[in-house]
Amino acid sequence: MEAKLDRPKSLTDLAVERIRQAIVEGRLAFGEQVSEGSLAAQLGISKTPVREALLRLKPDGLVEIHPQRGTFVFRVSEQEVAEICRFREILESAALAEAMTRDRAALVERLDRNVAAMAVATRRGQLKRLPQIDAEFHGAILACCGNGYLRAAYSLIEHKIHALRWRLPEHNTQVEHCRHNHAVIVDQVREGSVARAQSTLRRHIRDTLDAYLEACRRDAPRDAAAPVAPLHPPVAAAP
């Protein structure tokens, strides 16, 4: 039997990816008002898939749609940042215990690869890759836990956490300590010490709180945000 070909992504799917990426990477600031027309022009598509994309990003908490006022990138208060971090502590530590019980060797293998990738990126000065590698470390714990309900609960905050990561300065001390903290967690997972690994993971998450709060204070709507990447590369003009 022939393998099924992957269905091409719709314009709405592509718009969701591009707009989400622009929000996460800070090209659209917290609280910034977004225009369907402006986004459509930047992406090179009509307003309809952009409107549908924004509606799909709303349940993820990345945009807020207010009738008669417009659509805005999400904004988080200091209290909400604290609650998100506490939520992470609870979910990730539970997922870590589940993953260690389910298949500790597989978890160690994935986390080891991630720590190595972060070391390489740091050594090469590829600092812009670090937020994604950091997200993949924590995502691996959820992926390995085997509990769909834990993963579904984590998805409620996953993109917001990623947006906060991207807003940390490249040379922030929290970023510099990240690989060390991850390596310690992996060693404790390898040893089979569930309680110690959970404790280190919770402390690691708590340590990010002040850095995230500072990132939120710095990020504010700008008069002219950086453009969203187009869906297709521009066609070169004929000579």
User: Residue 47: which domain range?
Assistant: 11-73
- Whether residues 30 and 138 share a domain: the answer is no
What is the residue-wise DSSP string for 88-151? HHHHHHHHHHHHHHHHHHHHHHHHHHHHHHHHHHHHTT-GGGHHHHHHHHHHHHHHHS--HHHH
Q: What is the pLDDT of residue 239?
A: 31
Distances (CA, A) of 239 to 167, 236: 41, 9
pTM: 0.81
We report the CATH number of the domain holding residue 68 as: 1.10.10.10
Q: What is the pLDDT of residue 4?
A: 47
- Whether residues 57 and 172 share a domain: the answer is no
Tokens 């959970």: give the residue.
Answer: 198
Distances (CA, A) of 3 to 7, 8, 9, 10: 12, 15, 18, 21
Question: Of all helices (H) and strands (E), which one includes residue 219?
Answer: none
Six-digit token string for 216? 């939120």
Mean pLDDT of 122-146: 93
User: What's the one-letter identity of residue 171?
Assistant: H
pLDDT tens string 183-225: 999 999 999 999 999 999 999 999 888 888 887 777 766 554 5
- Whether residues 65 and 134 share a domain: the answer is no
Residue among 14, 21, 9, 12 nearest 227 (CA):
21
